Structures are given as structure tokens and as C-alpha cells.
Amino acid sequence: MGKRRRQECDCGKRRRKHLYLVLDDWDNGFSLHKMDALSLLDDSDDDGGRELERLPDPPAVRITEAGQSPMLFAGLGTSIFVANKIQRSPKVTGALVYDTETAAMAMGPAPPENTCRFFVAVSRGETKDEKLYTLGKTYHRDRSQHPRGHLAGVSVHALSWARSPAALAEPRLPSHEWAWESVAAPTAPFDGNEETVVSYAVHPDGHTIFFSTKNSTYSFDTKRREWRSHGEWVLPFIEQGYFEREIDAWVGLHEDGYICCCRAATATPGAAPEWRKTEQKLYREGDRDRRLGATLTYMGNNVFCLVESVVRQDVDPGRAYGGGRGCALHVTVFGLKYNREGEVQATLRRVTKSYAVSKYIPGFTHQAFWM
């Protein structure tokens, strides 16, 4: 496959990024759709998302679902990883790696056993060597003491583009490959069973990841490989928050549809950081009981993308799934600023487009990647 990360093409022009949407919109699996989301800001025909359009066709790639195991999706550099959460058969192992820069598909390593889910990519040092970190459950190996495989704790694993050991013996082989490593560190100070992660964000120091469970917050320093407990407070957003330097805060999606701006917590344990939210919700009005899920994606330069998955207003929720395009995606692109009173608000340059889509897998909404 092509180079993992490259900000500029060979001709010297900066590579234009796109929004990639993973949807369960066909009966055999998933589709990966490529959208020029930045062009929405230049669209003078913004209708506020009232008119339903169709996503660009055909999709960039289709992926057949393998068995009944839930699928894991993650983005790193210019690549999107797809893997079964449970590797049920030795003959069906590994992950698919789609390179958005070259449109090439390759095989990568399977995620570590008992992986909870993928989390966040972190750059370390001046080389900007990105790694994708995930948490996994570990179990006691002494079956005489714990015959049912008693949960021992939560471990850390990292995926990176690493030098291939095989290439040292055989120079004709590729010099690098995707590889997982088990991060040598104490297990997390939460059990990963009753305390599951509900939100997370990378500190502006570039190497500390904050995780919030339902009642507490912890951090993991990927450089020192150390865990810390920060007390009984939680990050105010759901899923991933993103640090935006222009407003000097983490930005995330509140569970009620507001956008949160939260001061980055200190790397040493302390009080809960100050946070504010937009005065108005960014969720579409009238979709509260029909909303299936929502994600927030950072597009850089103080631009964000909110994607909502909902059942269409003219469709019976009991008949929303299948090939009839019974659902819709609302894609909203916006920026943030502080007003004179110091309150956070979405900029006036806020654009929404809506798309009619089919859905087949209950419990799965969508995944969004900017690369």
C-alpha cells in the first residue's frame, strides 16, 4: 500500500482532505462514502438540511460483514482500519486497511485479543510518529484460581507503522508494516467492566490521553507509560473531544446536542476543568425521538462536522430498516468562537445538508473520519 501519511502530493500541492462516512447501507455489510465536506461552506444553496439528497455514488469501497461479530473502525493517518471485534476463526483473522490517499486496500494485523474498542491516535515527538491506542481487558491466566477467566484489569495496546523484522533478514521485503504492541505499563486504575469509558481526549501536550468513565476521570501518559487518577469528575462531552488552539479548549458534543468547550485538564490531578456549552443545540429540531446517533469530527482550523443519523419524519420507525432509504443523515459544518460576553457560540457560517440513506444493522449508526 502507499505511504501511510503524507500531507503534500508529489507536485507540491497540499492534499485536500475529505469526510469519510462508514454506513450500513446495504444488506451485506458496510459502505465507505467520500464527501467533500469543506465545499458545503461555499454552497450558497444551503437549505438548512430540509431537502433530502443522495450521497455521492458509487461509494469509495464496500465491505462485506464477516459473521455476526461487531465491526471495529478506526482512522490513523490516511488509513481506515476495519476489523471484527471477535476473531472467531483462525482462517478469518487480521484487519482490512483502506488507504484514502491511494484508494488501495491491504491486510493488516488483527486487533489484540479482548480489545474493547479503538480510541485515539496520538503523535509523539518531533517525528510525528502517530500511534493508535486502544484498551483491552486482561484476564487471570491461573485457571485453577480463576476457572472462568476472572477479569484482571485493563491493558493498553498501540498500533503503528513499524519496521518489519522480516525485512532485516530479507531486504526485498517491505521495510515497514502495521504492527500492534502491548504497552508495558500498569493496568488501568479502573476495571473496564463496570467502569467503561464514555469520553476521551488528547491533552495539548500531545502524549497524554484523558479517559472518563461514568463517575471518574483518568489519564494515561503515552511517553512515561503511566496512569493517573484525577478524581470524581467527568469530561462534559460524549465520545471524543478535540483540542482547538484558537479557543484554547477541548471541543466535544454534549449528550443533549449542545457543543461543549472545556479547558484542558492539567496533567497532574486537580479539580474539574471549567467548561461551557453553546446557547443553542446543534441537533436538528423535531428529531429527538427519531435520533439513532450522532458524531462530532474535527476538520482542523476551527472547523467541525456534526453528523446525525435519524429515522426520516415520513417513515414509521418500525419500518426504517431495509432498502427503502428510511433514514437520513444530517451533516452540519460549523466553526466556534467566543462572543463579547465570553460565551461560546457556533459561527454564522453554519451549513447543513441532509441525505436519504438505507440502514440494515440495528445498534450501528455511522462512523466519520476526516483525512
Grid cell 460524549 in the structure block, residue: 238
129 SS3 class: strand
Is 60 within a domain?
yes
Contacts of 123 by beta carbon, 8 Å cutoff, 6+ apart: 129, 130, 206
In a domain? residue 3: no
pTM of the model: 0.88
Average pLDDT, the chain: 84
Asked whether the beta carbons of 253 and 294 are under 8 A apart, the reply is: yes
d(CA 146, CA 159): 30
Query: What is the share, in percent, of the chain residues with pLDDT greater than 90?
Result: 53
| 130 found inside a domain | yes
Q: Cell numbers at residue 287, please?
A: 428529531
Q: How many CB atoms lie within 10 A of CB 199?
A: 24
Per-residue pLDDT for 1 more than 80? Answer: no
Answer whether residue 238 is part of any domain.
Answer: yes
pLDDT tens readout for residues 243-266: 999 999 999 999 999 999 999 998
204 by Cβ neighbours in 10 Å (0-12 / 13-18 / 19+) ranks as middle
With a CB cutoff of 8 Å and minimum separation 6, the contacts of 29 are 62, 63, 64, 65
Predicted confidence (pLDDT) at residue 88 exceeds the cutoff of 90: no
11 lies in some domain: no
What CATH number corresponds to the domain at position 185? 2.120.10
On whether residue 12 sits in a domain, the answer given is no
Residue range 36-51: mean pLDDT, rounded: 77
The number of folded domains in the chain is 1
Q: Is residue 2 in some structural domain?
A: no
Strand-pair partners of 182:
157
Domain that includes residue 300, residue range: 19-370
Beginning with the edge strand found earlier in the chain, give each strand of the sheet holding 104-108 in spatial order.
71-76, 79-84, 95-99, 104-108
Q: State the pLDDT at residue 53.
A: 94
Could you tell me the CA-to-CA distances from 83 to 61, 107, 238, 244, 278 in Å, in that order? 15, 10, 23, 30, 36
Whether 86 is covered by a domain: the verdict is yes
